[in-house]
Amino acid sequence: MQSPAPAHPIHAQHQVHVREVTLGLLGCGSVGSAILELLERRRQTFADMGVRIQVAGVLVRDASRPRDVPRGTPLTDDPSFLNKCAVVIEVMGGTERPLELLRPYLCSGRPVITANKALLAECWDDLRPFALAGQLYYEASVMAGTPVIGPMSTVLRASTFQRFQAVVNGTCNFILTRMEQGLDYPEALAEAQALGYAEDPPTLDVGGFDSAHKLAVLARFCADGRFPFQAVSVQGIEHLTQPDIQAAAARGERYKLVAELMRTADGKEDSWEGWQAKVHPLSLPGDHALCSTAGSRNAMLFEGDECGPLLFAGGGAGGMVTASAVVGDLLDWLIGFPGHVPLHGPEEGLGAETNCG
């Protein structure tokens, strides 16, 4: 398969000339709206690269509903505009509908930028061939605008990976912080829902499944490119009580919902191919690196033999924070970088065959 990068990468051009790049956007919630705003803010950046971004269509459920988007944005409930797009950004969420829309598009050899961790985690068998071909860009799918996938898919591969621990769900962070301040779990959850931090029902967040999606995505860069979502053991925070929180505080510790991946003995219960992946509440020493996170901030402690311990921390949610990573992926594609390629065997890699049949 031909590289999905532009025919004339920006860095290879000797003379800047403006060319139009048609872009499609699937979804226009808080993240989608922020992407459209950031594309406007960075208009000069694209112009300096010799590019003019033309939004061909924005797929929404109700095109008549008022939205806070730039004037003239082509909102539509008809996905036919995808046929004329050079690149597509997907932020609609869910799994079945995005896969239905994106699979034919990917089969045409064109690139997709997505922030959808559920799609990547649960539909990996369908998407992996396209990732191996360099067509998938998904920095925003884990820790939003805090770059972890980029380093893990490139420079950190030179270091022998041992394990990582990560706090990647802001809703649980908020609830646990409020419980430390004296609220019972039901009260803290109700407050999170009232403030819009938690969905109704909130199971995806408080049950640990959002963190598990992100863990599966990361595992494919440091454990095995085939790592299945089903191999992640998941326990949420619903069972934690005030006595649990108070007992941890008395020990100088704090509870965090931690996603962790580590090497383990083959055959060990809950392991897959020599790796153990789990999401669970952990009582950590108060000075632990992950205890510095609060609110929607995320953090990951990565440990490799050669690189040593590395801490990544920053914004892990929010429309503009996520949009910054999405637009960053768009810039990478325009420059000519391939997408985020997972670990693979010698028979695979860029140019791998996709299952388009």
CATH number, span 10-144+320-335? 3.40.50.720
Residues 6 or more apart in contact with residue 64 via CB below 8 angstroms:
none
In angstroms, rounded to a whole number, what is the distance separating the alpha carbons of residues 87 and 105? 9
User: Same topology for domains 10-144+320-335 and 154-315, yes or no?
Assistant: no
Angle ∠(130,136,137) on CA atoms, nearest 5: 165
Burial annotation 191-220 (CB, 10 A radius, 16+ → b, else e): ebbeeebbeeebebbbbbbbbbbbbbbbbb
* Domain-wise residue ranges, the chain: 10-144+320-335, 154-315
**What predicted TM-score, i.e. pTM, was given to this entire model?**
0.92
- Burial status of residue 261 (CB atoms within 10 A of its CB: 0-12, 13-18, 19 or more): buried
Q: Are 101 and 77 in contact (CB under 8 A)?
A: no
Segments of the chain with pLDDT less than 70: 1-16, 266-267, 347, 349-353
Q: What is the pLDDT of residues 238-256, one digit of tens each?
A: 999 999 999 999 999 999 9
* Annotated binding-site members for L-homoserine: 199
- Residues with catalytic annotation? 214
* Annotated binding-site members: 27-32, 117, 199
Q: What is the pLDDT of residues 181-211, one digit of tens each?
A: 999 999 999 999 998 888 778 999 999 999 9
Q: Are 65 and 9 in contact (CB under 8 A)?
A: no
By DSSP bridging, strand 275-285 and strand 253-263 are antiparallel
3-state secondary structure of 76: strand
* Chain mean position to CA 190: 26
Q: According to the model, what pLDDT value does residue 231 have?
A: 96
Q: According to the model, what pLDDT value does residue 271 have?
A: 85
- Residue 123's φ and ψ, nearest 5 degrees, are -115, 30
77 in the Ramachandran plot: left (φ > 0), alpha (ψ -120 to 50) or beta?
A: alpha
DSSP 8-state code for residue 250: H
In angstroms, rounded to a whole number, what is the distance separating the alpha carbons of residues 330 and 249? 44
Q: According to the model, what pLDDT value does residue 201 have?
A: 85
CATH number, span 154-315? 3.30.360.10
Q: According to the model, what pLDDT value does residue 199 have?
A: 76
Residues 6 or more apart in contact with residue 53 via CB below 8 angstroms:
21, 23, 39, 43, 46
* Annotated binding-site members for NADPH: 117
